[in-house]
Structure 1
Amino acid sequence: MDFGEYKDNHLASYIMVNEFKSRIFAKTVKMGGVGYVASYPENRGQGDINRLMKEIILELHDQNYAISNLVPFSETFYRRYGYENAIYEKMYQIEPAYLRFFKPIKEGKVIRGKWQDLILRDAVIKLYQDKLDQNDQRNTVNRENWWWNRLDTYYPGRSICVYFDKNKQPQGYMFYRIVERNFRAEEMYYQAPQAAKDLLSIIASHSSSDLKYYVKMPEDSLLGEFFPEQEGITVKTIPYMMTRIIDVKQVLEGLPLVNNKKLR
């Protein structure tokens, strides 16, 4: 959905809202992803974005959305419309010397490649969907194929690593790039400890005192537990997305209530 205001027949301010499906535990709900918020410099301060945001919230409610997410340019600004920090990430910075703890793989294997590799692509999608189907997610996007492809376009030059166990089953994956002497693992997921260790060994294979190493993980990650010495890692929890509840009833219905009665 596109929302805009025109001045003298020219688009002056604009907001895009994309429809996603998100998981609240076992319940799939509609989520409105707000993005591409923009106004021409000469038009700022005229109240356009304020009016558009109010219109968006009403439209989302009318179209039966449960929640709305966005990456804020200003947390204070979006709090005016009921958004609050709800999704956090952990950022691990690893000193190069502490990668020595992770040795080459002895069991299973890691295959490295690009998103165009169908074997890797199918393995990543399967792992992601398996995690969703555990019904323990609180506000996680059900990524469709177009969204995966968009991520690959949005982050050019990304490599993928998938760890397969001795039974040739995928157990973990990692997306990473090296940008301006920074090694950035921008997404990592693992189902088994061995997968985490072997993905970390791939990072170790790039070990260089000239690089800085960063690994982005979900808020509840315990990746640091795989390091025998944690002095060489720095962990920060940072806000990632803000959320506004559009329909409280839908959200509450997704919670695993003990009595399982309908809400009125």
Structure 2
Amino acid sequence: MVDQRSNLEIRPVTIEHLEQFNDLLRYVFQVTDQEVSDSGYEEGELERAKRPVLEKSDVIGWFNGDELISQLAIYHCRVNIHGQVFNMGGLTGVGTYPEYAGHGLMHDLVKVGLNKMRENKQWISYLYPYSIPFYRKKGWEIMSDHLTYDIRDSQLPKQRPVNGHVERLDIDDEDVIKTYQRFALKNHGAMIRNELNWDEYWRWENEEERIAGVYYDENEQPTGYVLYWIANEVFHIKEMIYLNQEARIGLWNFIGAHYSMIEHVKGNQYQDEPISFLLEDGDIDQTIKPYFMARIVDVREFLLAYPFETDGQAFHIELTDPLAEWNNGTFGVYWDEQGKVQVTSRPVGERIQCDIQTLTTMLMSYRRPSYLAKIERLQANRQALKNLENIIPMDQPYFSDYF
């Protein structure tokens, strides 16, 4: 293999490589024909469905001659970070055939990918980790959680009066899309979904069996929805979103109206909101797992665009990054006379020391500065920590997509 590496080259993966692209994905992630069938795909349909990935994304691979042996894809996405919309590089489709593993191919491929994101002005990247330690070594860190819950029929909230009503609609109804768009623009971390993002959101679901229950307020405006299906006396919630508490109550009224049909409600939650606290009988089964990871691609540009909560005292970060050399060094942050953030390479103000992983999870508000200092992921004195706590928004990330 050492000798063979000189014969390998990195180049774009294009539509002519569609079959090889899909073969590598299915091999690495062990996707079976049965799983494909259960998701509602007919033979060959999944492969055709992945065609837009190659047409609308940046896909890069290692080739041995004409054979694709290692690859990654970068989706062109947009996300809401504390009210500011950022271009985001969604990293997915990462895989190498086992006979080529252990020789640093993916390390080099990710470096090329980060350079590509930087060219695209994607100052932040998200990914779903199949190995958290693997991606931590490459600069990503956990940014969101996936919670699941199981509520018995006897624990469902009692019906409460609201001014609106729920309608059952197709999952691709215009009001479903519109409601999510409004929600995403109000919730930190969320994907601003385009057509490809919606396709990926439903990729492994049998869409024909899914239903949308949309809540309309007294002005007939959609202000929330629940995406669900019912099977074996279980009301399954894929996702529930709402723009206000009236919509939340109305959606739970709708779920509770299925009381005679179901024994359990099993659902997903993508933000650390305590479902149990909202129930009269909160003794429910809940699980929590890390979900998506993020990494800042270009620290200077990210800091310049980052919506700090308020003007603060000047500080500087002494940063290390295992792959993006442009992120290694000192980043001084201060506010000019107009209150605009400026970034310099000078060590202004108090000193903060950390790696790119820690900086990312802190600025994404998944973990607070004081906690990161407590577990010795962040080095800073008390004054610097107090400043960070004041200027970094509190909102925790919401992210329910998958790619």
TM bucket (normalised to shorter chain) is 0.7 to 0.9
Other-structure match for 1:143 = 193
Other-structure match for 2:80 = 23
Name stretches of at least 5 consecutive residues in structure 1 with no aligned partner. none
Alpha carbons 1:13, 1:38 under 8 Å: kept? yes
**Partners of 1:7 and 1:148 in 2: CA distance:** 34
**Partners of 2:215 and 2:166 in 1: CA distance:** 4
Which is bigger in relative contact order (C-alpha 8 A, separation at least 6)?
Answer: 1
1:93-132, aligned counterparts within 5 Å? 93-99=150-156, 101-103=157-159, 107-116=163-172, 121-132=173-184
Name the structure where strand makes up a greater proportion of residues.
Answer: 1
Alpha carbons 1:90, 1:221 under 8 Å: kept? no
C-alpha displacement of 1:176: 1.6
C-alpha displacement of 1:254: 1.9
- Does the alignment pair 1:263 with 2:263? no
- Does the alignment pair 1:248 with 2:304? no
DSSP-derived class of the 1:140 partner: coil
- Could you state the TM-score of these two structures normalised by the residue count of structure 2? 0.57
C-alpha displacement of 1:41: 3.5
Other-structure match for 1:14 = 71
- Does the alignment pair 1:196 with 2:239? no
Deviation digits for residues 214-250 of structure 1 (CA, Å, limit 9, x no counterpart): 222232324334311112x233332110001012233
Deviation digits for residues 184-223 of structure 1 (CA, Å, limit 9, x no counterpart): 3121111232322232233334447975532222323243
C-alpha displacement of 1:3: 1.1
**Partners of 2:267 and 2:220 in 1: CA distance:** 25
C-alpha displacement of 1:149: 4.2
- Does the alignment pair 1:55 with 2:112? yes
**Partners of 2:175 and 2:275 in 1: CA distance:** 21
1:38-49, aligned counterparts within 5 Å? 38-49=95-106
**Partners of 2:218 and 2:248 in 1: CA distance:** 15
CA spacing shift, 1:194–1:226, aligned 2, 3 Å: farther
C-alpha displacement of 1:161: 0.7
Number of residue pairs matched by the alignment: 256
**Partners of 1:8 and 1:179 in 2: CA distance:** 49
DSSP-derived class of the 1:17 partner: strand
Question: Quick one: which amino acid aligns to residue 119 of structure 2?
Answer: D
DSSP-derived class of the 1:141 partner: coil
**Partners of 1:48 and 1:114 in 2: CA distance:** 44
**Partners of 1:10 and 1:84 in 2: CA distance:** 32
**Partners of 2:95 and 2:233 in 1: CA distance:** 31
CA spacing shift, 1:224–1:83, aligned 2, 3 Å: same
CA spacing shift, 1:30–1:106, aligned 2, 3 Å: closer
When structure 1 is superposed on structure 2, of 60-69 and 144-153 the one drifting more is 144-153
Name the structure where helix makes up a greater proportion of residues.
Answer: 2
**Partners of 1:125 and 1:246 in 2: CA distance:** 29
C-alpha displacement of 1:57: 1.5
DSSP-derived class of the 1:53 partner: helix
Deviation digits for residues 6-29 of structure 1 (CA, Å, limit 9, x no counterpart): 124211111111111122223222
Deviation digits for residues 142-180 of structure 1 (CA, Å, limit 9, x no counterpart): 112342244345422221110112221222111123467
- Does the alignment pair 1:227 with 2:283? no
**Partners of 1:178 and 1:46 in 2: CA distance:** 47
DSSP-derived class of the 1:18 partner: strand
Question: Quick one: which amino acid aligns to residue 308 of structure 2?
Answer: P
- Could you state the TM-score of these two structures normalised by the residue count of structure 1? 0.84
**Partners of 1:240 and 1:191 in 2: CA distance:** 23
Alpha carbons 1:197, 1:226 under 8 Å: kept? no
CA spacing shift, 1:6–1:212, aligned 2, 3 Å: farther
Name stretches of at least 5 consecutive residues in structure 2 with no aligned partner. 1-57, 312-338, 344-403
Task: Give the root-mean-square deviation of aligned CA atoms.
Answer: 2.6
